[in-house]
Amino acid sequence: MMAKENPKIAVLMATYNGSKWLAVQIDSILQQIGVDLRLFVSDDNSTDGTLEYLKRLAVSDSRLVVLPKTERMASAGKNFYRLIRDVDVSGFDYVAFADQDDIWNTDKLSSHVDLIRANDAEAVSSNVMAFWPDGRQKLIFKSQPQRGYDFLFESAGPGCTFLMTPWLVGRVKHQLITNEAAQEVTMHDWLVYAICRAYDKCWIVDPTPSIQYRQHQNNVIGANAGLKAALARLKKINNSWYRHEVALISRIVASINPGVRFLKFQKIIQSNSILDQFRLIAFVLEGRRKLSDRLVLILSVLLFIF
């Protein structure tokens, strides 16, 4: 009887000045059990020796592929969009995202493959265990039950936990090539989640943490932990960044699924009328997965902050 082949997985990693963390992270990726993987890395013009380190490592390990240097992209999201556009994933069974500074559990990929297969899903994400240089740890809980419109207001969790089918990555690539709004979305993980749900496809959020989520001063987003993080997010709501992103997501979702509810939401989120502001509450009630997040968002709508 022939042995069952391990699933082939393309891991897409975006790097920028991550030399101090890369060795540990890449080692945790290359030591994944039960899978056959290839790691594709796009470096955004690092100045700390990151690219040189990656090139040296690629010489000794054929599983690592370093993409050609491009002009500075200046954001992690755009770097991941470059990976989605430029890496041919057609020969792989699944595709994963990876940040440069985390540490993966050895069964991260294999356990998520099992979840996708068992649930006939297009993607899976998970909770993470955040950790700080001083030894503190905190479970970042993202596996609250999904809601009817949560994908219009948030991602399914950190993109560094995502495992996706090539079909879904292909749909995201199509949007990035054909839809200007998709190119403007800041957070690549939110965009991917919204596109998946716009097609009414199954997405699993695993309650078991799959990575150690490193926290440091250079995190693009990081763990939503503590007063400082909460104030930073409130500031984004107040300066209209968040509403702008929600409006972009709504345009993309409505272009994929032009049903009445999404067209209505698109009209409301782009409106400045007081009546539409109150109509927005009906969507917010089915928005964020976490109760406290919904309450904050409802309050921000009522106070015309959002």
Q: Where are the alpha helices (DSSP H) in the chain?
A: 19-30, 50-60, 76-86, 108-119, 150-153, 166-178, 180-184, 188-198, 227-238, 241-256, 260-269, 274-284, 291-302
Instruction: List the chain residues with pLDDT less than 50.
Output: none
Q: What Å distances lie between residue 161 and 10, 291, 299, CA to CA?
A: 14, 23, 30
C-alpha span between 206 and 264 (Å, rounded): 31
pLDDT at 219: 58
Task: Write down the pTM of the prediction.
Answer: 0.94
C-alpha span between 259 and 282 (Å, rounded): 17
Q: What is the pLDDT of residues 230-247, one digit of tens each?
A: 566 667 676 789 999 999
pLDDT at 237: 72
Instruction: Find the angle CA(78)-CA(255)-CA(236) to the nearest 5 degrees.
Output: 45
The CATH fold assigned to 8-220 is Spore Coat Polysaccharide Biosynthesis Protein SpsA; Chain A (3.90.550)
pLDDT at 1: 53
Beta-carbon count within 10 A of 133 CB: 9
Q: What is the pLDDT of residues 121-160, one digit of tens each?
A: 999 999 999 999 998 999 999 999 999 999 999 999 999 9
Measure the N-to-C terminal CA separation of the chain; round to a whole number of Å. Answer: 61
pLDDT at 231: 61
pLDDT at 222: 52
DSSP 8-state secondary structure symbol assigned to residue 305: -
Cross-strand partners of 13: 41, 98
pLDDT at 230: 56
Q: How many helices (H) and strands (E) does the chain have?
A: 13, 11
| Delimiting residues of CATH 3.90.550.10 domain(s) in the chain | 8-220
pLDDT at 183: 96
